[in-house]
Structure 1
Amino acid sequence: MTDDVTRMLDLGPAAARVAGLAEGVRDGQFGGPTPCPELAVRNLLGHLIGLAAAFTDAGRKDLGPSTATPPGTIVPDIDDEGSWRTALPKVMDGLVATWQDPAAWEGMTQAGGVTLPAGQTGVVVLNELVVHGWDLARSTGQPYQPAPADLEACHAMLAPFAEHHPAQSPFGPPVTVPADAPLLDRVIGLTGRDPHWQPAS
């Protein structure tokens, strides 16, 4: 079992920010670039829907194809009819509800084909929401400021990789960011992203 601090992380604010950002995406922005070179905005939206569904299954210990598929195996996408605009907030609500149950944070589970303690998985979920929220905000020109507590939890998870095992980081080599930079910039740098990234004009 994980400790109480980890078990009680609330994914609600981060998920709500992602849903709000998605609502602000204009149809003409779907083909635009993102900080993830292999993903356009439409692919990033598809990835957010897919990861929310997969981590919902992970929280429920409903292990199967959604939890066993390694990241990057397929390029996600969204439909052109706009049903994703309903699907994304719905799947985010399901994710939050699942991880509000203390049982979701207990025992072992699987995500991205990796078996790991459920408590660690919950922090990974939060990090995915926070970082991909930044990706979406930057890609579509929207303001973004996660909760300080969310950033602190993400930084605590990411910093040991950069300090002790940078070559093993699942996010690629960290980008050097000044120690006195805003916490959001430091978190983004630890994921191998340039905090100053902007889409080409």
Structure 2
Amino acid sequence: MTTMQTDPRPLFRDALNWVAGLIDGVRSAQFTDPTPCPEFDVRSLIGHLVSTIDRGRVIGAGGDPLTVPEVLTAPDDGWVAALRTSADHYWEVWNDDALLDTVVTAPWGTFPGRAAVLIALNEALVHGWDLAAATGQPAEADPDLANAALGIMQRALPETPRGGPVPFGPVVDPAPAAGATERLANWSGRVTEPWKN
């Protein structure tokens, strides 16, 4: 099955459940800690994850995703609920099978809807890795999920070019013992080694 025949929605659902569990595991003292994504601390990284879901909803609905702030806000004890609410609204749009082959427009280009879901899947898993690494939680999603996402992203996100209009850094060589989620983060340009628990 090629990337453009794959339905990535079940993978994205699983990734969102994994991220919700990680958010639930953040301790109150950790919200201001740094993360592997240098522009975000733990709180703003979570707010960015929730924003990514909401922006994806707007993309699917044919709107302008830049009307959604890059980082959303919520009480620290309300982040899991905020993520689940955003996900519910996302699926109200994306449960339509026809949308997978409908051309949608995002800030980084125009492409079939399934590609937008693939990008959201990558964001969830890579930023989930960031969140887990920053908060001392197990940083590997289910290996079947992460390996499936890695295989898809290695076809959908070429090794070159990177930077400029392609909002990913150069591929990082994974450590020999890196799990699939870490390797996905490496493929997305994340230097993971300093953050490993």
Q: For residues 12 and 101 of structure 1, what CA distance do their matches in structure 2 show?
A: 15
Aligned to 2:105: 110
Instruction: Compute the displacement of 1:113 (Å).
Output: 5.2
Which residue identity does 1:183 align to in structure 2? A
Q: For residues 13 and 178 of structure 2, what CA distance do their matches in structure 1 show?
A: 26
Q: For residues 26 and 6 of structure 1, what CA distance do their matches in structure 2 show?
A: 37
Q: Scaled by the length of structure 2, what TM-score is found?
A: 0.80
Q: For residues 79 and 196 of structure 1, what CA distance do their matches in structure 2 show?
A: 31
Secondary structure in structure 2 of the residue aligned to 1:25: coil
Superposition pairs for residues 38-57 of structure 1, below 5 Å? Answer: 38-57=39-58
Instruction: Compute the displacement of 1:25 (Å).
Output: 1.3
Q: For residues 79 and 182 of structure 1, what CA distance do their matches in structure 2 show?
A: 32
Contact 2:52 2:70 in 1 (8 A): no
Secondary structure in structure 1 of the residue aligned to 2:15: helix
Q: For residues 57 and 77 of structure 1, what CA distance do their matches in structure 2 show?
A: 14
Q: For residues 105 and 180 of structure 2, what CA distance do their matches in structure 1 show?
A: 29
Q: For residues 9 and 77 of structure 1, what CA distance do their matches in structure 2 show?
A: 23
Q: For residues 117 and 84 of structure 2, what CA distance do their matches in structure 1 show?
A: 19
Instruction: Compute the displacement of 1:187 (Å).
Output: 1.2
Contact 1:22 1:45 in 2 (8 A): yes
Superposition pairs for residues 30-69 of structure 1, below 5 Å? Answer: 30-59=31-60, 61-64=61-64, 67-68=65-66
Contact 1:185 1:195 in 2 (8 A): yes
1:147 aligns with 2:147: no
Secondary structure in structure 2 of the residue aligned to 1:197: helix
1:165 aligns with 2:166: no
The 10-residue stretch of structure 1 (152-161 or 40-49) with the greater mean CA deviation from structure 2: 152-161
Superposition pairs for residues 15-30 of structure 1, below 5 Å? Answer: 15-30=16-31
Identity of aligned residues (%): 32
- Count of residues paired in the alignment: 193
Q: For residues 166 and 113 of structure 1, what CA distance do their matches in structure 2 show?
A: 13
Q: For residues 37 and 50 of structure 2, what CA distance do their matches in structure 1 show?
A: 16
Q: For residues 106 and 117 of structure 2, what CA distance do their matches in structure 1 show?
A: 10
Q: RMSD of the TM alignment (CA)?
A: 3.0
Unaligned runs of 5+ in 2: none
Aligned to 2:126: 131
Q: Scaled by the length of structure 1, what TM-score is found?
A: 0.79
Contact 1:31 1:41 in 2 (8 A): yes
Secondary structure in structure 1 of the residue aligned to 2:193: coil
Instruction: Compute the displacement of 1:97 (Å).
Output: 5.1
Unaligned runs of 5+ in 1: none
Q: For residues 3 and 182 of structure 2, what CA distance do their matches in structure 1 show?
A: 28
Q: For residues 108 and 182 of structure 2, what CA distance do their matches in structure 1 show?
A: 29
Which residue identity does 2:84 align to in structure 1? P
Instruction: Compute the displacement of 1:33 (Å).
Output: 0.5
The 10-residue stretch of structure 1 (161-170 or 83-92) with the greater mean CA deviation from structure 2: 161-170
